[in-house]
Structures are given as structure tokens and as C-alpha cells.
Structure 1
């Protein structure tokens, strides 16, 4: 199971999840990634941690496989979504927000 409430993402540990991304520019118009642009989804225990627990380059969706969360402890983490454009310009699309890994019963 997975849910998004505001900017909070909830996933059941070890489950699959697909979060479709609708990127908009500052004027609310659809934003398309250009050649060389990189959109990066990152999950860490805290914002001050150096090592990412999950990090994926994505395009129009964030796809989580069971192996992405199966080794994580239940609890709260942080994530963000960052765009690095081909010209080197970096912009945080979603600022650090809550990523919750919930309990499962069937292993």
C-alpha cells in the first residue's frame, strides 16, 4: 500500500509503489524535462545524513520496488526531489518532506 497526503509519502515496507509526477513550471504550465536534465528522488534518515537510503533518477514517475524499502526499519525518513538541468542549474522541486515506512504483516 502507498499513499500521498500533501507532501508526505507513506509506503508499506517491501511493497511496490508508483508515484506519477505532473511537473509544472512557475506559471502552472506543464514542464517537460530536456535532454541532459536529471530529476533525482532521494530518501535519507535525516537531512544531515551523507548517505542516501534510496536514490533514483526518475522521469515522469517514481517507481519503488520491494527491495527499495524491504531493508529499512519502520519509521519516518525524509525525501526530496531535485532537478539538475543540463546547463548545471539545480532546483529543489519538493523540499525535504516526510517519507514513512509502515509495518507489514506478511513477509
Structure 2
């Protein structure tokens, strides 16, 4: 996997873990108990949530960080190419923050299919 800015490239069918941290004014702000982090991948920026291709929800945070795990089954049926993702955080009191704005999520070809 390669992350350039907020754009992600990964090989289709691989297992990847994305560690997510939130900062404010240059300082890390730990994720709090009772909060939820959403990682969503879609074909287009204009699709509805029910059209998402990958949807991960994280509610357990270690050391104030979130880990989004992408499993082989999440991508193996998708075509190679560019999709779009974002990461949204909802605090325990309901405040919503988009941590990573809409960005490219590119699936690269694989050679070994196991």
C-alpha cells in the first residue's frame, strides 16, 4: 500500500491496515470511547451510502488511534481502477468531523490469485 497525501493505492486482494490519527492545531487529539470512525469507498463521489463498495466502522481505539483493516474479500471482486473514499469521525456527543476528505482509492492489479 502507498499513501500519497490522502490518496491510497493498494493491490487488489491484499490485507491492509490504515492507522488513523486526528490532529487539531498540530497536536494529536485522541479518539474517545463511545465515538465511531467510518471508512467508506464508492465508485463515485455522488453515490448514496447504500451504494458503498467498502464500509468499515471502528468503535475501539487503542492509544487514541483507530485502525481500519481492509481484508482480501473487501477488494477481490472489485475491478482494477480508481474509486473514492473518505474517513468520517462521529464523537460520543454526536459531533461529526470529516478527517480525510474525498480522496482517490486506487486498486492496482495483482499477479497471484490465492
- What TM-score, normalized to structure 2? 0.86
Q: CA deviation at 1:64?
A: 0.8
> How many residues in Structure 1 have an aligned counterpart in Structure 2?
105
1:70 aligns with 2:76: yes
Gaps of 5+ in 2: none
CA distance in structure 1 between the aligned counterparts of 2:37 and 2:110, rounded to whole angstroms? 30
1:61 aligns with 2:67: yes
Secondary structure of 2:101 counterpart: strand
1:48 to 11, 30, 46: 46
CA distance in structure 1 between the aligned counterparts of 2:18 and 2:80, rounded to whole angstroms? 20
Q: Which moved more, 1:74-83 or 1:55-64?
A: 55-64
Gaps of 5+ in 1: none
Secondary structure of 1:30 counterpart: strand
Q: What pairs up with 1:18-37 in 2 under 5 angstroms?
A: 18-24=17-23, 26-37=24-35
CA distance in structure 1 between the aligned counterparts of 2:71 and 2:80, rounded to whole angstroms? 16
Q: CA deviation at 1:87?
A: 1.4
Q: CA deviation at 1:6?
A: 1.1
Secondary structure of 2:74 counterpart: helix
Moved over 3 A (4+): none
- What TM-score, normalized to structure 1? 0.91
Cα deviation 1:48-80 (Å, max 9, x = unaligned): 112111111134222111011001111000000
